[in-house]
Structure 1
Amino acid sequence: MKKFLIAGAALVALTGAASAADLTYEPAPAAPAPAAASAFDWNGFYVGVHGGAAIGDFTKDFSDNGSTGGLFGAQAGYNYQIDHWVIGVETDIAYSTLSDVVDLDWLGTTTARAGYAFDNLLLYGKGGVAYGDLKYADQSNWSVGWTAGAGVEYGFTKNITGRLEYDYVSLPSKDFGGLETGLNTNNITVGLNYKF
Structure 2
Amino acid sequence: MKAALKSAIASSMIIASVGSTYAADMAVKAPPLPPPVVVSWTGCYIGGDVGWYHAHQNGDTSAFPSPGFGAPAINGAGIAGYGVLPTSHGLSRDSVLGGGYGGCNWQQNKWVFGFEGDITWTDNKTGSDAQTVVGSFTGQPANFPPLGTNMQLNSSTQWLASLRGRVGMVVGAGDNVLLYGTGGVAFTDTKYSAVFTPSTNPASLFGFGCPGAAATTCFGTSAVAFSRNQVGWVAGAGVEWRVAPQWLVRVEYLHYGFDGASGIVPAVLANGAAACAGCGWRANWGNLDIDSVRVGAAYQFGGPVVAKY
TM range (shorter): 0.7 to 0.9
Identify which of 248, 260, 276 aligns with 1:161: 248
Identify which of 71, 80, 85 aligns with 2:106: 80
Q: Which runs of 5+ in 1 are unaligned?
A: 1-37
User: How far apart are the structure 2 equivalents of 1:173 and 1:185?
Assistant: 13
Identify which of 145, 150, 155 aligns with 1:102: 155
- C-alpha displacement of 1:179: 2.8
- C-alpha displacement of 1:59: 3.4
- C-alpha displacement of 1:139: 1.8
Report the residue type matching 1:192 in the other structure: A
User: How far apart are the structure 1 equivalents of 2:166 and 2:97?
Assistant: 21
- C-alpha displacement of 1:143: 1.1
Q: Which residue of 2 aligns with 1:192?
A: 297
User: How far apart are the structure 1 equivalents of 2:165 and 2:56?
Assistant: 25
SS of match in other structure, 1:42: coil
Q: Which residue of 1 aligns with 2:115?
A: 89
SS of match in other structure, 1:102: strand
> Is 1:117 aligned to residue 170 of structure 2?
yes
Q: Which runs of 5+ in 2 are unaligned?
A: 1-36, 61-87, 128-153, 194-224, 265-281, 302-309
Q: Provide Cα deviations, 1:56-89, integer angstroms capped at 9, x if missing partner.
A: 1123436443210011100011111001100100
Greater strand content: 1
Q: Which residue of 2 aligns with 1:44?
A: 43
Check the 8 A contact 1:60/1:173 in 2, yes or no.
no
- C-alpha displacement of 1:109: 1.0
Aligned length: 159
Check the 8 A contact 1:89/1:111 in 2, yes or no.
yes
Report the residue type matching 1:40 in the other structure: V
1:2-21 matches, cutoff 5 A = none
SS of match in other structure, 1:156: strand
Calculate percent identity across the aligned residue pairs: 33
- Which stretch shows the higher mean deviation, 177-186 or 162-171? 177-186
Q: 1:161 to 1:82 in 2, by over 3 A?
A: same
SS of match in other structure, 1:109: strand
User: How far apart are the structure 2 equivalents of 1:41 and 1:63?
Assistant: 51
SS of match in other structure, 1:41: coil
Q: 1:176 to 1:120 in 2, by over 3 A?
A: farther
Report the residue type matching 1:148 in the other structure: A
User: How far apart are the structure 2 equivalents of 1:152 and 1:189?
Assistant: 11
- Which stretch shows the higher mean deviation, 75-84 or 130-139? 130-139
Check the 8 A contact 1:72/1:95 in 2, yes or no.
yes
- C-alpha displacement of 1:173: 1.2
**Radius of gyration: which is bigger?**
2
- C-alpha displacement of 1:169: 0.7
Q: Provide Cα deviations, 1:93-112, integer angstroms capped at 9, x if missing partner.
A: 01012421211011011110
1:142-161 matches, cutoff 5 A = 142-161=229-248
User: How far apart are the structure 1 equivalents of 2:263 and 2:248?
Assistant: 41
- C-alpha displacement of 1:126: 0.5
Q: Which residue of 2 aligns with 1:18?
A: none
Report the residue type matching 1:169 in the other structure: Y
- C-alpha displacement of 1:185: 1.0
TM-score (norm 1): 0.76
User: How far apart are the structure 1 equivalents of 2:94 and 2:289?
Assistant: 12
